[in-house]
Amino acid sequence: HLCSNKEALGSHPVSPPAGGRPCDAKDFGQGSLVCVCSATYCDTLDPVVLPAHGTYVRYESSKAGKRLERSEGSFQHNAATPGIEYNLVRVPMASTDFSVRLYTYADAEGDFELKHFNLTEEDMRMKIPILRAAQAMAKRPLSLYASPWTSPVWMKTNGAMTGRGTLKGSPGDKYHQAWAKYFIRFLDEYAKHNLTFWAVTAGNEPTAGEIIFYPFQCLGFSPEHQRDFIARDLGPALANSSHRDVRLIILDDQRVMLPYWAEVVLKDPVAASYISGIGIHWYLDFLAPIDLTLSITHHLFPDYFLLSTEASTGSYFWEPRVVLGGWDRGSKYSHSILTNLNNYVTGWTDWNLALDMKGGPNWSKNYVDSPVIVDSSKDIFYKQPMFYHMGHFSKFIPEGSRRVGLAVSKRCHRCELEHSAFLRPDGAVVLVVLNRSPVDVSFGISDPRVGFIEATAPSDSIQTFLWKQPA
């Protein structure tokens, strides 16, 4: 149960997080702070330890300067490890616009048997070592999923990695069979390095190259084309391989395409039998009300998960690319995560783990912002507000958590708070509260099995509450 009312605007001094190592704060004049990290120092957060029964812990980040600051409290009965525990990683199959060059793994003309399929130095020297290092230090197993941006150009109607083009021929033919085999070969090669995948998507942004001329790597598909490719080629290829347990995700594109795309693909029983989920991007969310897209799709196809597979800020042409210390960009992330989680989405993926000071590298200069920005000239990196906003979810809501309902007081019908609550596999309760307004908001949290918390959400802040329930 959550209720609130507004209070007057207050001021909050900048303060470091309790426990772990504090943020080495730097202000670039963009409204909030970044935390500076180097080879010798980076702020860390103590491991999450569940509080004793009858007590709770709160983690708070704010525009004023708090970064996952920990505090403790007790319920009323009258009514650090480094990083933020990401466990879902999207891995590009060959090049994207955020590569320094254009390439695929099978560039030899007419190589239908993929005899010349090879990983590249980008895989061998960067992707694979980084993924293995991340897996070694992760508290929980990483779930990897792969997405291709384009097929080799000799398979495409336009003979180019960019622009408007799709696969030659039709589903079931040698081009489609070779493209399906390409997925299997990628999974085979990564398995040789002890990296196995939870899922693959059928292709990044299939409407690019099908509907519009796209300046980056792309491979166009209509929903009918994707349906038939999965039914005749990709689905059987996965099912008949050693990767038969790898999940298959459709769409991997803007949610404005829903529910239409899902209806076309999933109403075919053969294609549907190979598919586990639907991937969505956020760039055109302003054109697609969430209740008319995600909620309807979930109720039409409740057995298929929804997953947010790409988001980034600074991507629109009218925006600055990198904004060091931009609090509003972090709030935009949290708002998207909360609204998605509250509408049946099971996970949320940022586009880039880290970028340089320009928002690249990117061969096409399609620069964007990122939660981590690297200044290689100084051998340091900056943890943006976006990083900490994501941490309020990834650090405290482990895989297997279930969203639970909140009864909101009628007094709160005009309040500015956004929120979502979860029951973790260990029985603990997590509540995330976002205040995007310029005023402090007081509210109460009532858990009938434990008690009542009186709290305040400072202006421009995000809080995560964590407590145990009685066994």
CATH code 2.60.40.1180 region(s) in the chain: 2-19+53-81+401-467
Tokens of 45: 């957060």
Chain segment 421-456, per-residue pLDDT in tens: 999 999 999 999 999 999 999 999 999 899 999 999
Q: Answer yes or no: are the C-beta atoms of 255 and 283 closer than 8 Å.
A: no
State the amino acid at position 15 in one-letter form. S
Q: What is the CATH number of domain 88-310?
A: 3.20.20.80
> What is the pLDDT, as a whole number, of residue 76?
76
**377, burial (CB in 10 Å: exposed 0-12, middle 13-18, buried 19+):** exposed
Q: Which portions of the chain are predicted below pLDDT 50?
A: 1-18, 78-81
Pairing of the two strands 55-62 and 69-74: antiparallel
Residue in 69, 85, 310, 418 annotated catalytic: 310
Other C-beta atoms lying within 10 Å of the C-beta of residue 97:
22
> What is the pLDDT, as a whole number, of residue 226?
98
pTM exceeds 0.85, yes or no: yes
Tokens of 141: 């197993």
Chain segment 328-376, per-residue pLDDT in tens: 999 999 999 999 999 999 999 999 999 999 999 999 999 999 999 999 9
User: 383 CB contacts (<8 Å, ≥6 apart)?
Assistant: 23, 34, 35, 37, 42, 43, 371, 372
CATH code 3.20.20.80 region(s) in the chain: 88-310
Is 205 annotated in the active site? yes
Q: Is 466 helix (H, G, I), strand (E, B) or coil?
A: strand
Is 416 annotated in the active site? no
Pairing of the two strands 143-148 and 88-93: parallel
User: 410 CB contacts (<8 Å, ≥6 apart)?
Assistant: none
Fold that domain 2-19+53-81+401-467 belongs to in CATH: Immunoglobulin-like (2.60.40)
> What is the pLDDT, as a whole number, of residue 412?
56
**115, burial (CB in 10 Å: exposed 0-12, middle 13-18, buried 19+):** exposed
**Whole-angstrom Cα distance, residue 189 to residue 185?**
6
Q: Answer yes or no: are the C-beta atoms of 98 and 122 closer than 8 Å.
A: no
> What is the pLDDT, as a whole number, of residue 105?
98
Residue in 69, 205, 210, 418 annotated catalytic: 205
Percent pLDDT > 70 in the chain is 93
Tokens of 341: 């989680």
